Chain A
Amino acid sequence: MRLDTDTFREIADSLVRNKRRSLLTGFGVFWGLFMLLFLIGGGAGLKEMLSKNFAGFANNTVILISSNTSKPYKGLQEGRYWNFEYKDVERLRQMVPELDVVAPMISAWSGNVAYGSHSSSASVKGITADYDKVETSQIKYGRFINEMDVEQERKVCVIGKDIYNELFPDGGDPCGNYVEVGGIHLRVIGVDFSSGNMSINGRASRTVTMPITVAAKIYHRGNTVDIICITGKSGVKMTSLESRLRSVMGRQHSFDPTDEQAMVILNTQQIFSIVDNLFRGLNFLVWLVGLGTLLAGAIGVSNIMMVTVKERTVEIGIRRAIGALPSEILSQILMESVSLTLLAGSFGIVFSVLMLSGLEAITKHEAVFQIGFGTAIVAALLLAFLGALAGLAPALRAMNIKPVEAMHDE
Chain B
Amino acid sequence: MQIELHNVHKTYEGAQPLHVLKGIDLSIEKGEFVSIMGASGSGKSTLLNILGILDSYDEGEYIIDGRLIKGLSERQAAGYRNRTIGFIFQSFNLISFKTAVENVELPLFYQGVNRRRRHELAMEYLDRLGLKDWAGHYPNEMSGGQKQRVAIARALITHPQIILADEPTGALDSKTSVEVMELLGQLNREEGVTIIVVTHESGVANCTNRIIHIKDGIIGEIEENREHKASAFGTTTVMK
Contact = CB atoms under 8 A, between A and B. Distances in A.
Contact of B95 (A9, A315, A320): A315
B93 A318 contact: yes
Interface residues of B, number: 34
Contact of A326 (B52, B74, B97): B74
Contact of B87 (A9, A322, A402): A322
User: Which one of A5, A14, A315, A410 has the greatest number of beta carbons of chain B within 10 Å?
Assistant: A315
Which size class do A's interface residues fall under? Answer: 20 to 34
Interface stretch (B77-85, B207-215, B220-228): B77-85
A13 B98 contact: yes
A17 B78 contact: no
A314 interface: yes
A8 to B, nearest CB: 11
B115 A406 contact: no
Interface stretch (B31-39, B58-66, B103-111, B121-129): B103-111
Given A403-B54, A406-B89, A322 B107 contact: yes
A321 interface: yes
A407 B81 contact: no
B139 to A, nearest CB: 12
Given A403-B54, A407-B166, A17 B97 contact: yes
A65 B50 CA distance: 95
Nearest to B111: A323
A260 interface: no
B117 to A, nearest CB: 11
Interface of B: 45, 49, 52, 54-55, 74-75, 78-79, 81-83, 87, 89-91, 93-98, 102, 106-107, 109-112, 114-115, 154, 158, 166
Given A323-B110, A406-B89, A407-B54, 10 more contacts: A9-B115, A10-B109, A318-B93, A322-B81, A322-B154, A324-B110, A325-B75, A326-B78, A403-B54, A410-B91
Which 10 pairs show the lowest CB-CB distances between chains A and B? A323-B82, A17-B97, A404-B54, A323-B110, A322-B107, A403-B54, A325-B78, A318-B93, A323-B81, A324-B110
Interface of A: 2, 5-6, 9-10, 13-14, 17-18, 314-315, 317-326, 328, 402-404, 406-407, 410
